[in-house]
Structures are given as structure tokens and as C-alpha cells.
Amino acid sequence: MGRMKGRVAIVTGATQGIGKGIALRLASEGARIVFCSRNEARSEDVLAQIAARGGRGVYIRADLTQKDQAENLVAEAAKQFGRVDILINNAQSRTPPGTIMEKNADDFRGLFEGGVMGSLWTMQEAFPHMREAGWGRIVNFSSFSVSVGMAKKVDYNVAKAGIAALTKTAAQEWGRYGITVNAVCPAGANEAIQAFLDSNPAAAASIREEIPLGRLGDCELDIGAAVVGLVSDEMAFVTGHVLMLDGGGHLRPIAAAGKLPVKTASAS
């Protein structure tokens, strides 16, 4: 415990699901947390859970499809705590599933702005703080759906592929400043997915069969813990990677989206 003591971490899209799990795990390790979402309804609950872990948190309402709000998120974190050490770009807009022929420019634009551009803008704003400190950790979010070309998610696949490319390019350019940049592809059971699995035992059993470790990850204990490891000093020599945090699911390229509820609202 306490590996993140003294660090300031920004976690986007952290009022629920994987983002929340990561924020709580970082707080448990001593980091001060600045987190955001479009909807502040769950923010007080997350703040209370951060405090229960002995941490300190600040919530900022932000729509990361808007450049000024993405920049303000990072600027406010620096203002509140005097530094920015860790940036976790978890937020991502969503669209309903549809074939290539059914998708339109608005679908692509929304996912690109909510994922690639939102990540880019926060990274650009955080970079000067990390460069000055000579230390920084950035974790972006791609998806295993990119590698398998998951059907009816072409706009999402393209956006997540863009984030992987952004990650590798930043790792190339920023490594000289002591900044590592990696991406993760998590398979975590957020609240909606867990509720679906609890009420659909057949789907739950099918997923257990298709994932070598037999389950989806816990957002805090599995995904959050892995991200904490990735931003720790022990992983200072790891950069430019796109890591699968999926219990081995990528070894069996499945169309799991067909067995899980599709989330159409923004995750940010």
C-alpha cells in the first residue's frame, strides 16, 4: 500500500465502472484523485468511497468532446494539487451497434471526439507538467475489438485503433522526459454488465467458458490493480504497449458483445 503517495492522478469517466474502479484503487495506494464525467449524479458516492479509503478526491464535471473542458480538467487538477503525475484516459462515448452500411458521419465524429480527441487534449495539457517534473504516467484505453474487427462496431473499432496509435506515438516522443505512455484493453464487469450476468446465467456461463480465467475482471481489484502497477515506479521501463487486461479472452477472439448488453450512453 502507499505506492502512489504524493502523486496526483486524473481519471476520466470515473463515476462508474472501470474508471471508478481505477480511481478507487489509486486512492487506496495514496494518490490524490481528480476525476470527471458528463453527469455528476454519482460523483458524491465516488468521493465518499475515495475518502473511505483514506484518499482525497476532487470531482470536475467535464464533457471531453469539448477541447476547452478537457484542457480545464487538467488545469484545474494542477491548480488544486500543484502537479499532475498520472493521466488515465478512460472516458469514451458510445453509439448503438450497426453495420458499416448503417453507420454515418455523426457516429464516427462522436466516437472520435469522445475518445481520440478527448485523450489527445488531456495529454497535451498534462505534458508540460510531466515534462517539468521529469516523471509522468499516461494510460489510454483501446480495445481488443480492434484486433478482431468486431462486427457492428466499426466506428468504435476505428476510434480505439486511433487511441492505440496515439499511445505509441506519444511513447516515442515523450519517453526522453521520463513519461511512459501505454494503453490497456480491459474486460471488466461494470455495474450494468454485472447486473445482466446476474440475471442471465446462460450468458454468464458462456462467457466463463470463453475466457481462460473463467470470468470478467473486477473493476477495482483486477483492472484497477493492473493500472496501478502500470503507473508505478516498478514499471518505469514499460512504454508504448497495448496491454490486454481480459483474463486471456484475446486468446479466443470471441464476439462477446453479442452476449452482453450494449451501452449506448456516454461512458464519460
**At a CB cut-off of 8 Å and minimum separation 6, what does 183 contact?**
139, 140, 141, 142, 163, 164, 167, 241, 242, 243
**At a CB cut-off of 8 Å and minimum separation 6, what does 44 contact?**
none
Helix and strand numbers, DSSP H then E, in the chain: 10, 7
Three-state secondary structure call for residue 65: coil
> At 104, phi and psi to the nearest 5?
-130, 180
Catalytic residue among 156, 166, 185, 254: 156
Give the number of other CB atoms < 10 A from CB of residue 112: 18
Active site residue 177: no
DSSP string of 158-218?
A: HHHHHHHHHHHHHHHHHGGGTEEEEEEEE-B--HHHHHHHHH-HHHHHHHHHHSTTSSPBP
How many whole angstroms separate alpha carbon 229 and alpha carbon 232? 5
Residues classed as catalytic = 156
